[in-house]
Amino acid sequence: MKTSRRDFLKTGLALAATVSAGRFTRALAADAPAAPRTILAAVRDGSRTAMLDRALAELGGLGQFVHPGQTVLIKPNIGWDVAPDLGANTHPELVGHLVKLCRDAGAKSVSVFDHTCDQWQRCYANSGIEPAVREAGGIVVTGDDHALYRTVEIPRGVKLKSAEVHQLVLDSEVFINVPVLKHHSGSLMTGAAKNLMGVVWDRRFYHRNDLHQCIADFLTFRKPDLNIVDAYHPMVRNGPRGRAADDVVELRSLLASTDIVAVDTAAARLLSQNPADIRHIGLAAAHGVGTSNLDSLDIRRVKLA
Amino acid sequence: MRRWLKPLRVAIALVFLGVLTAAFLDFRGLVPARLAHAFAAVQIGPAALAATAGAVLGGVALAVILVVTLLFGRVYCSVICPLGILQDVIARLRHRRSRVLRFSAGNKLLRYGVLAGALLAVGLGATGAAFTLLDPYSHFGRIVATLGRSALVFGNNALVPVAQALGGQAIYRVPPPAPSLGLVLFALGAAITVTALALWRSRIYCNTVCPVGTALGLLSRASAFRLTIDQTACTKCTDCLRACKAQCIDLRTGDIDASRCVSCANCLGACQHGGIAYRFAWRRTPRAPDSQRRAFVASALLLPPLAALPSAAPKPRRAPVAPPGAQNVDRLLDRCTGCQLCVTACPTQVLQPSVFDYGWFGFAKPHLDFGRAFCNFDCLRCGEVCPTGAITPLALADKRLTSVGTAKFERSRCIVETDGTDCAACSEHCPTKAVNTVPFRDNLRLPEVKEDLCIGCGACEFACPVRPQRAITVTARATHTRAAKAVEAKPQLPKPVGDFPF
């Protein structure tokens, strides 16, 4: 699989970095870490694009994730037929900028889709994401076509043993998850892991068969290569659809990490929620797909203003 | 004049036929709602209904049609009515120029009988049903929407794999329409009848069955400018008979039956001898006793009362939900002609034509089918296109508060209760947060309905994963009401402000 090659390269690079930095760290501390800790970039108080640029810089640049000639899938939240100011969807400015960065990094194609809750054409248009992606040189693909989904086995799934997954997830070389952070009346929070419900055909199955467990189970099948959480103006009530622009608060934050559990753990904190209350975070950590122990991470806290 | 009148007529007719066909075929929302509305609202059936509700466009359209008819005869039937124009297209497929349709006296009893029946039905309060059964525009709509659109969607979806293989995103799969068998049969019956009659004798449908044609025919008989044969110029060459699609030119007597002439102007161009022309006819002396008017009155008296019908209507299993803007079910049934323009315009396809959901008189009229989709919170299209005013156009703020039904939550069926796991699909979709979740045992969240906030959009029912019976369902309101508007204070910023909480 392509992921294993990428993982191999990443590990290799990381090892090389450790070795070269070894002499320096040994001088500083007696018990040097064996491997570098996963980075969680947390940026505040900038524009969406500036915070994304900075977060990517902290993670070593987008070139760490997107190599020339690769096919890239960006999965924002486009679930609802509402304007960007309601905070129900990932902000189009952020998605558009990310598409552009991927194109600049030499991506062969950058595709964007979501299996929406409201009618998809209206969601794509009214979220502002479709025009933003087009303008940035990306491709907008429907998530509302059953023929585009293929059934996959999820051997490690507890409740979700198989799922019909959009072919872009299965066929793209790079998978970037770009959720918007918001309150959710059922799962308490929509973050990076919850956002991946939009890549499967049968969302009702999740609701019927232990929502939290299914969300966690999917991660054992496929983790995104990078998670970028749009927390510029998170919706703090009436989620996930939201009722009015009043439902959002201006937090001007952005989180980014390869660890989807870590990024959701931090995101829960941004919403003043206890990560332990959000069951899918714990269940995902139990699956070993990431860590909810923020102390084990290399958190890069950056304030731009 | 005789040379350009027909091309002008054909040009305008094709615009009407083209726009309305496109509107009823439209499965991607490409035809602007205003355009579809404008071309449908000037049709005489919808215009008459809308005018009685005080619609300006309907009133003006009705007045213009009546004045034009009184001046020049049944121009409406040749230029504006899509079913009439469609018959010309069908007839052309076979007749070309060769066939001569002889003068026919017409079946007066049938003509006036249908018109009298229609008027009687209106008089008895079955206005909506009468228009549904008889209005030519509405027949056209159902034929194109139910048969043509379904075929088009099927073809589109068959092309999607090809397009996707070529890497294109321009063609995408759309949900296949699922009109009920009753509606398909009805539309098919109308299509076959109209096609067969058009192939057989061109405009005989318009001159025998269509009450709009008959009514305008009565007016045409008194029109100011009438096609008249100039006996001194006429050589009885029958060129005009070849051109006439209404079989209304009697060369033996030299008369043109104004009540059946559809003012197509074909004969004007066909006559090489200048034998037919529009002549001002209002100077004439009063006519002899009027046999047609007598036939009309007689047939009206002969008609069996239609009032006995409704009692036979089957009981609906569950009261259907009328679309926002319909105001109440009775009003919808009164004013809707079942043309399907709202059904084709509905982007989520939650609007579906009923068969007997509303009873007999509700045939083909739209209801919200929450098994299929839900009514989009910010969508106004059905009210924007409706030509009769059956679905009144709403402002977005009003639409968002118009309550067409109420959600009923059945806790004993809910996943959270039965399985002890979180779900919240209902509250997730609810745009007004009439359905919200409240803390429940074991860190779970249970749905709760605030009825005063509910607008009955059906998002909760559509999303509910419980089968066979859903845990939350929308009960129709026979009369729509206004939902309450939730007021919330601005939420507080999560703590700590301006720093990282981790």
How remote is the C-alpha of B228 from its chain's centroid? 36
pLDDT-flagged residues of chain A (< 70): 1-34
Beta carbons of A247 and B376 less than 8 Å apart: no
Candidates B400, B428, B449, B492: best to mutate against A (most CBs of A within 10 A) is B428
Of B415, B428, B432, the CB nearest to A208: B415
Q: Is A116 on the interface with B (CB under 8 A)?
A: no
Beta carbons of B465 and A119 less than 8 Å apart: no
CA atoms within 13 A on the CB side of B367: 29
Which pLDDT does position A305 carry in this prediction?
84
Chain A residues near residue B382 by CB distance under 8 angstroms: none
User: Which pair of tokens denotes residue B14?
Assistant: 């094709």
Nearest CA in chain B to A45: B498
Peptide bond into B468 cis (omega under 30): yes
Question: CA dist B186 to B21, B81, B82, B114, B148, Å?
Answer: 19, 20, 18, 18, 14
Chain B residues near residue A44 by CB distance under 8 angstroms: 498-500
Phi, psi of B485 (to 5 degrees): -110, 120
- Cβ pair A284, A261 in contact under 8 A: yes
Chain B residues near residue A294 by CB distance under 8 angstroms: 502
Q: What percent of chain B has pLDDT over 70?
A: 92
Task: Using alpha carbons, select from A278, A279, A266 the residue that is nearest to residue A231.
Answer: A266
Beta carbons of A241 and B429 less than 8 Å apart: yes
Beta carbons of B501 and A270 less than 8 Å apart: yes
Candidates A44, A80, A82, A119: best to mutate against B (most CBs of B within 10 A) is A119
**B458: helix, strand or coil:** coil
- Cβ pair A158, A215 in contact under 8 A: no
CA distance B231 to B238: 13
Distance from CA of B403 to the nearest CA of A (A): 16
Residue the block writes with tokens 């558009």: A96
Nearest CA in chain B to A272: B494
Chain A residues 141-160 with CB within 8 Å of chain B:
141-142, 144-148
Beta carbons of A301 and B500 less than 8 Å apart: yes
Which pLDDT does position B177 carry in this prediction?
84
Average pLDDT over residues B82-107: 84
**More confident site: B219 or B297:** B219
DSSP state of B374: -
* pLDDT > 80? residue B110: yes
Q: What is the pLDDT of residues B237-293, one digit of tens each?
A: 989 998 899 999 999 999 999 999 999 999 998 898 888 988 888 875 555 556 666
Q: What is the pTM (predicted TM-score) of this model?
A: 0.89
* pLDDT > 80? residue B353: yes
- Cβ pair B389, B55 in contact under 8 A: yes
Contacts of A102 (CB under 8 A, 6+ apart): A62, A66, A72, A74, A110, A138, A174, A176
Average pLDDT over residues B194-209: 94
User: Which pair of tokens denotes residue B472?
Assistant: 């939350």
CA distance A213 to A205: 11
- Cβ pair B243, B298 in contact under 8 A: no
Phi, psi of B317 (to 5 degrees): -70, -35
Which amino acid, one-letter code, is at B191? A
C-beta atoms surrounding B177 within 10 Å? 19
Q: Is A130 on the interface with B (CB under 8 A)?
A: no
- B165 falls in which pLDDT band (50, 70, 90)? confident
Which amino acid, one-letter code, is at A236? V
Q: What is the pLDDT of residues B373-419, one digit of tens each?
A: 999 999 999 999 999 999 999 999 999 999 999 999 999 999 999 99
Q: What is the pLDDT of residues A74-105, one digit of tens each?
A: 999 999 999 999 999 999 999 999 999 999 99
Q: Which helix (H) or strand (E) holds B15?
A: helix B5-25
- Cβ pair A216, A160 in contact under 8 A: no
- B101 falls in which pLDDT band (50, 70, 90)? confident
CA distance B379 to A81: 10
Q: What is the pLDDT of residues B32-87, one digit of tens each?
A: 999 999 999 999 999 999 999 888 999 999 999 999 999 999 999 999 999 999 99
User: Which pair of tokens denotes residue B375?
Assistant: 């009514």
Task: Using alpha carbons, select from B385, B383, B334, B391 the residue that is nearest to residue B358.
Answer: B334
